[in-house]
Amino acid sequence: MSTAKSILTGIKPTGQVHVGNYAGMIRPTLDLMASNPDGENFLFVANYHALNSIGDPDQVRQFTHEIAACFLALGLNLETTSFYRQSDVPEVFELTTVLGSVTPKGLMNRAHAYKAAVDANAQKPNALPDDGVNMGLFTYPILMSADILLFDAHVVPVGKDQIQHVEFARDIAGYFNRRYETEFFTLPAHSVQENLEAVVGLDGRKMSKSYGNTLPLFGDAKARRKAINRIVTDSKQPEEPKDPDTNTVYQLYAALAEPAEIAHLRARFEDGGLGYGEAKRILADKLDELFEAPKARFEEYMSDRGELEAMMAKASERARDKAARKIAALRRVIGT
């Protein structure tokens, strides 16, 4: 049996790419795709998913370009990976409609993001349960399932918060396959960094664009150092032993550094003798070391949007071709 796999993932253009995205999704995705020589790789910018939260077209365009430039700067290989914008593959939206017809509404009621919105409304005195929830948010997992199933992805690398969505895609593929008594859609599986919990942000909560607590990957290095210096720590003196696991500086370092470096810093925290000032400097140095060269490449890509668009148009060809063939076959299965 062939071991060739199809790997697929996407990211929404809703803000500047940050260290949480890098450690949770970008780095593992690039590693997985680089070690899949006999398989197929698909990476895309989920720009229609972004519309649920962003109504400014210039922002959508800007963040889309930033994601493309970011992946290219970090070593994305366009020879071996099809790279596209979701909107460049309109078959995704046709498939979304078809999948809607086999997806029980109750499944969407159980989606974490929707439930979180309803729970938040329950805490507000005069809010109705669905206040602020648009249908894009409610049906988000169906569009995401279409993204995945259209390309028969076997493996979907994501951060842990996305596991439920990939499981939904698997469920929805199953509903379709059972209704039409076929194996038309491949059942996808998520791939996560088992040993990485959500990367913490500057305020100790999960790093997220929505919390404004991020370290952008290609931000100004001096501003980044200042932001790191503002991370709140306890008042332990340098010589006192410290618990690395309750410490934002250590946790950020642990998300980025090599295992031997992490073990070394951990021991220094536990033994005492490492002050927070020095720990913050070690973290800032690590970020400079990792992102200085990619940042220069990122800026180079961002400086010529015409060229970037041309690269994206070419990089999407294979995906568009494959999507068209899958939809033609789908129409035969469903009789449309």
Footprint of ligand ADP (CB under 6 A): 11-12, 14, 20-21, 23-25, 158-159, 161-162, 198-199, 206-210
Binding site partner of 46, from ligand ADP, ligand TRP, none, Cβ cut-off 5-8 A by kind: ligand TRP
* Residue with smaller CB distance to ligand TRP, 209 or 242: 209
- Candidate list 29, 82, 96, 162; residue touching ligand TRP; CB under 6 A: 162
- Strands (E) across 91-236 are located at 155-157, 189-191
Q: Indicate the residue among 6 and 162 with the shorter CB distance to ligand ADP.
A: 162
156 interface partner picked from ligand TRP, ligand ADP, none, CB below 5 to 8 A per type: ligand TRP
- Bridge partners (DSSP) listed for residue 7: 41, 155
Q: Smaller CB distance to ligand ADP: residue 161 or 203?
A: 161
Query: Is 152 one of the binding residues for ligand TRP (CB under 6 A)?
Result: no
- Can you tell me which of 46, 70, 217, 279 binds ligand TRP, judged by CB under 6 A? 46
Whole-number Å distance between alpha carbons of 221 and 235: 26
Q: Which does 20 bind (CB under 5 to 8 A by kind): ligand TRP, ligand ADP, none?
A: ligand ADP
**Is 191 among the residues that bind ligand TRP (CB under 6 A)?**
no
Instruction: For residue 83, give every residue at least 6 positions away whose Cβ sits within 8 Å of its Cβ, in sequence order, or none.
Output: 43, 44, 68, 71, 76, 312, 315, 316, 319
Binding part of the chain for ligand TRP, among 4-12, 92-100, 227-235, 314-322 by CB under 6 A, reads 4-12
Q: Are 334 and 102 spatial neighbours (Cβ–Cβ below 8 Å)?
A: no
DSSP string for 36-61: -TTSEEEEEE-HHHHTTT---HHHHH
Helix, strand, or coil here: 7?
strand
Shortest approach of ligand ADP to residue 53 CB, angstroms? 9
Closest CA to 216 of 206, 204, 224, 226: 224
d(CA 18, CA 25): 11
Q: Identify which of residues 151 and 250 has a Cβ nearer to ligand TRP in the complex.
A: 151
CA 134 to chain centre: 21
By CB under 6 A, name the one of 13, 28, 43, 49 that touches ligand TRP: 49
Quote the CA–CA distance of 45 and 295 in Å, as a whole number: 20
Binding residues for ligand TRP, per CB under 6 A?
A: 9-12, 46, 49, 144, 147-148, 156, 158, 162, 165
